[in-house]
Chain A
Amino acid sequence: MAEWVEACAVDDVDKEDVIRFDHGGRSFAIYRSPDDDFFATDGFCTHEMAHLADGLVMDDIIECPKHNGRFNYKTGEAKGAPVCVNLKTYPVRVEAGKVMIDIG
């Protein structure tokens, strides 16, 4: 069941960057791609408990700050060791300058 929540304002995230969003005891990462599209994933790396918002966004890749594990943040696909488990992604929409994500 859909549960849309407001994660941040559009301007809170730089292009080709990521920020952290915590809600209801859960943590998410909100991305703004170089093409100005928004995406959302689980906040923590599936390898170890490092927050991806401290990592580096390069094109459609987020690199974990702890062991440099890489995911495609658009699909959640793990791109190779040391990350083997895909990242959960969440639907995103932009409404009136706000980034909304469906955490349902």
Chain B
Amino acid sequence: MTAASSTKRDYSLVGESTRRAIETGLASAEWYHTDVPRKTMKELMQRSDGPAIRDTIIWIVAILGSAAGIVWFWGTWWVVPFLFVYGVLYGSSSDSRWHECGHGTAFRTRWMNDVVYHIASFMLMRNPVQWRWSHARHHTDTIIVGRDAEIAVMRPPDLIKAALAFTGILDFRYSLPTLVRQAFGTLSDDEKSYIPEMEQHKAVTAARWHMVIDAATIAVAIALRSWIPLVLVGLPRLYGTWHMVTTGLLQHIGLADNVTDHRLNTRTVYMNPISRFIYWNMNYHVEHHMFPMVPYHALPKLHELIKHDLPVANPSIWHAYREVWPVLLRQLKYEDFYLKRELPPTAKPYRGEFHDLDITAAAAE
């Protein structure tokens, strides 16, 4: 276990790391894929409305039911379990719905993906236009510093920020002012770097719609002299985010950056069925990044098919965090340090053209 000399990372999308990523060919590079016969992949990619309609009905019924419980029991301690359920459904499971519908893989029917995508984007306080493009970039340049707009924990890690993320406070503090700024017609340089010019006005329009609904919610709360409208719309982003952060942080944290093999920078974790419902199977995250065309309901099958070529999945969320924690502590001193996950003997080895140059010296196996 060693560490290389520190390389300062510039996480802006228009800075020194961006220039270096483009110059070295890390940006928009060819990524490693496990071989899967075309016929098999075609079967796995097949779309169907059925599973997502079923899951969405359960989701909506659970949201409405827990919201009714909040209204009914407001002012008593009985409201707490309903807040717990509603918060997670609103503030966490909306993330996976946003994600899958953004990819267009949840439903076969396009408009169904679009409707759920926009609803989930609102729940998350995410500009649906901006985030569609940032996520496309995340898939093109996964954890490439200076290119990926969705790196959750940067190096050296800010552990206080990471801990606060579980409360949703930081995300709320970022998302709301961002939407306000965008509603006034201003996109940042980073946003302009991944949203094509012809789409930028759509991002402004979407931000304005979000602001209108938020303002209407506040107006209703004032008119009713009640906190309930805000507890149901907006604030779950604070009290219900913890599950999204618990599962989402594990996707890439502590693993390599600036590599072109998802086996090195992405993690698959086995999770309990409730978390998998909330997360829509995104715990199979290496599989998702390698083959984003495969719908969430087919990911377990894909995992079985290609796991011989992947690092062994973490057996639980707890196990994954126990693995990550010492890596984060080490990165406080040596930001180049990362966890290099061992491949099984049946797997094809990691390619060396990018990986060996920059990071092998900093890896722990």
Hey, which bits of chain A sit against chain B, CB under 8 A?
17, 47-49, 55-56, 58, 63, 65-68, 70, 79, 81-82, 84
Residues of B close to A55: CB separation below 8 A:
293
**For residue B129, which residue of chain A has the nearest CB?**
A81
Nearest A residue to B46 via CB reads A56
A-B pairs with the 5 shortest C-beta distances? Answer: A82-B136, A56-B45, A67-B136, A68-B104, A68-B103
Report whether over half of chain A's contact residues are helix, strand or loop; otherwise say mixed: loop
Q: In the complex, what residue of chain B is closest to A57 when comparing beta carbons?
A: B42
| Bound complex: CA A90 to CA B108 (Å) | 27
B139 at the binding interface (Cβ < 8 Å): yes
- List which B103-150 residues lie within 8 A (CB) of chain A: 103-105, 108, 110, 129, 132-133, 136, 139-140
Q: For the complex, what is the distance from the CA of A46 to the CA of B91, rounded to whole Å?
A: 35
Partner of A48, one of B28, B108, B133, B199: B28
Given the complex of chains A and B, what is the CA–CA distance between A87 and B173 in angstroms? 41
Residues of A contacting B108 in the complex (Cβ-Cβ under 8 angstroms): 58
Residues of A close to B136: CB separation below 8 A: 47, 67, 81-82
Contact partner of A58 (CB less than 8 A), chosen from B28, B47, B198, B291, is: B47
Whole-angstrom distance between the alpha carbons of A47 and B135 in the complex? 14
- Inter-chain CA distance A101–B139, complex, in Å, is 33
Q: Contact: B42 with A66, CB < 8 Å?
A: no
Contacting residue for A67 out of B110, B139, B199, B291, CB 8 A: B139
Contacts of B139 in A (CB 8 A): 66-67
| B292 engages A67 (CB within 8 Å) | yes
- B9-59 residues with Cβ-Cβ distance < 8 A to A are 28, 42, 45-47
Task: Give every chain B residue within 8 A of A82 (Cβ-Cβ).
Answer: 132-133, 136
Known: A56-B47, A81-B133. 5 other contacts (CB 8 A): A47-B136, A48-B140, A56-B46, A63-B293, A84-B196
Q: Do residues A81 and B132 form an inter-chain contact, with CB atoms below 8 A? A: yes
Tell me if B199 and A81 are in contact (CB < 8 A).
Answer: yes
Q: Is the CB of A63 within 8 A of B104?
A: yes
Chain A residues whose CB sits within 8 angstroms of the CB of B47 once the complex forms? 56, 58
Find chain B residues with CB under 8 A from A66 CB: 139-140, 292
- With a CB–CB cut-off of 8 A, which chain A residues contact B196? 84
A-facing residues in B287-313 (Cβ within 8 Å): 291-293
Q: Are A49 and B28 in contact (CB under 8 A)?
A: yes
A65 engages B293 (CB within 8 Å) = yes
Chain B residues closer than 8 Å to A84, beta-carbon distance: 196, 198-199
Q: How far is the CA of A79 from the CA of B114 in the complex (A)?
A: 13
23 pairs, A vs B, C-beta closer than 8 Å = A56-B42, A56-B47, A56-B293, A65-B291, A65-B293, A66-B139, A66-B292, A67-B136, A67-B139, A67-B140, A68-B103, A68-B105, A68-B292, A68-B293, A70-B104, A79-B110, A81-B129, A81-B132, A81-B136, A81-B199, A82-B133, A84-B198, A84-B199
Give the distance to chain B from A98, nearest Cβ to Cβ, in Å: 21
Q: Output the nearest chain A residue to B291 by Cβ-Cβ distance.
A: A65
- A95 CB to closest chain B CB (Å) equals 26
- Minimum CB–CB distance from B357 to chain A (whole Å) comes to 23
Find residues 195-215 in chain B having any chain A CB closer than 8 Å to their own CB: 196, 198-199
Task: Give Cα A91 to B178, complex, Å.
Answer: 47
User: Which residues does chain B contribute within 8 Å of A65, judged by CB atoms?
Assistant: 291-293
- Determine the chain B residues whose CB is within 8 A of the CB of A47 once the complex forms: 136
Query: Residues of A contacting B140 with CB < 8 Å?
Result: 48, 66-67
